[in-house]
């Protein structure tokens, strides 16, 4: 099984945001899913609300989205590349 990298938020590791070689092209994603932070961030930029994202991706939680928004804000280069 490939090793995962975990995102850092507020100086500690996040269990919610990971990047694993071979899964989603190694992109940062919500742990346990194939939903990338980049996809969520782009959706938000297009005006899709958190509530709509939670409805569209029933496996996500509000905490997952909060972690994604923090990660995206702190790592714009990783999310936009």
Domain boundaries, the chain: 5-76
Model confidence at 11: pLDDT above 60: no
Q: Whats the size of the chain, residue-wise?
A: 81
**Which residue carries 């694993």 as its tokens?**
20
* Beta bridge partner(s), residue 18: 6, 29
Per-position b or e across 8-35, b if 16+ CB within 10 A of its CB: ebeeeebebbbbbeeebeebbbbbeeeb
5-76 is classed CATH 2.40.50.90? no
Indicate the SS3 state at residue 81: coil
Share of the chain above pLDDT 70, in %: 81
Report how far apart, in Å, the C-alpha atoms of 49 and of each of 26, 62, 67, 72, 76 are: 26, 11, 15, 16, 20
Q: Mean of the per-residue pLDDT values for the chain?
A: 86
Top-confidence residue, 42 or 10? 42
């Amino acid at each position: 099984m490939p090793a995962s990298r975990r995102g850092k938020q507020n100086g500690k590791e996040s269990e919610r945001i990971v990047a694993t070689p071979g899964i989603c092209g190694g992109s940062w994603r919500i742990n346990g899913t194939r939903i990338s932070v980049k996809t969520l961030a782009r959706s938000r930029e297009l005006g899709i609300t958190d509530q709509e994202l939670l409805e569209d991706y029933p496996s996500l939680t509000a905490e997952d989205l909060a972690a994604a928004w923090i990660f995206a804000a702190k790592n714009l280069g990783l999310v936009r590349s």
